[in-house]
Structures are given as structure tokens and as C-alpha cells.
């Protein structure tokens, strides 16, 4: 297990601010995850826009829950970047 070269603070701020859009995934090099997250948000907004409110809000709710879980994992230093390296909070040490 190695420490990620990506900055912890940047990843957490992106996740907290633009989490539904998946920007933090793109920053961390998890491109497919980012595309999936962005697609869920866009699909939810389209569904809400065309009148499928229940389905749109369901997809948006799933995306919100996913974003909260990822943000928690980032905050506790348990999330990996696209290279499989741990995004570590300041002062965190690697466990063997």
C-alpha cells in the first residue's frame, strides 16, 4: 500500500462541493467512476425535467448516498486513487 500523490484536502473539497458531478473521481484518476457519477446526475435531472419525478429523484437520491459514502471514506483516509494508492489525511500512517 502506497500513499497517493493526490492532495487529500483537494479531494475532500471537490467531493464535498462537486460530489454529485463526480469531479473528485476525475481528480483522483478514477475516470470510469467519474463518468458514472456524472451520468447519474445528468440522467436524474433529465428524468425530473421530462416529468418522471419519482424515478429522477430516486436516481438523484442514490447518487447523493454514494457521494456521502465516498466523502466519508475520503475523510477517514480509506479511499484509493486510480493507481490504487491511498488518499491519506495529514498525519495518517500506512498500515502494513
Whether residue 71 is contained in a domain is answered as: yes
Per-residue confidence (pLDDT) for residue 59, from 0 to 100: 95
Cα–Cα distance for residue pair 15/96, rounded to 1 Å: 27
Q: How many domains does the chain have?
A: 1
Whether residue 92 is contained in a domain is answered as: no
Cα–Cα distance for residue pair 30/35, rounded to 1 Å: 9
Q: What is the pLDDT of residues 10-63, one digit of tens each?
A: 999 999 999 999 999 999 999 999 999 999 999 999 999 999 999 999 999 999
* pTM across the whole model: 0.88
Whether residue 54 is contained in a domain is answered as: yes
Instruction: For residue 14, give Cα distances in angstroms to 2, 5, 27, 95, 96.
Output: 22, 16, 8, 26, 29
**In which domain, by residue range, is 12 found?**
8-83
Cell of 23: 469531479
Judge whether 27 and 11 are in contact, CB under 8 Å. Answer: yes
Amino acid at each position: 500500500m502506497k500513499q497517493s500523490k493526490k492532495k487529500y484536502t483537494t479531494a475532500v473539497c471537490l467531493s464535498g462541493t462537486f460530489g454529485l458531478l463526480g469531479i473528485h473521481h476525475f481528480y483522483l484518476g478514477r475516470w470510469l467512476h467519474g463518468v458514472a457519477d456524472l451520468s447519474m446526475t445528468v440522467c436524474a435531472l433529465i428524468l425530473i425535467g421530462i416529468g418522471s419525478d419519482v424515478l429522477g429523484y430516486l436516481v438523484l437520491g442514490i447518487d447523493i448516498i454514494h457521494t456521502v459514502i465516498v466523502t466519508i471514506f475520503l475523510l477517514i483516509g480509506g479511499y484509493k486513487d486510480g493507481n490504487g494508492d491511498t488518499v491519506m489525511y495529514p498525519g495518517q500512517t500506512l498500515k502494513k
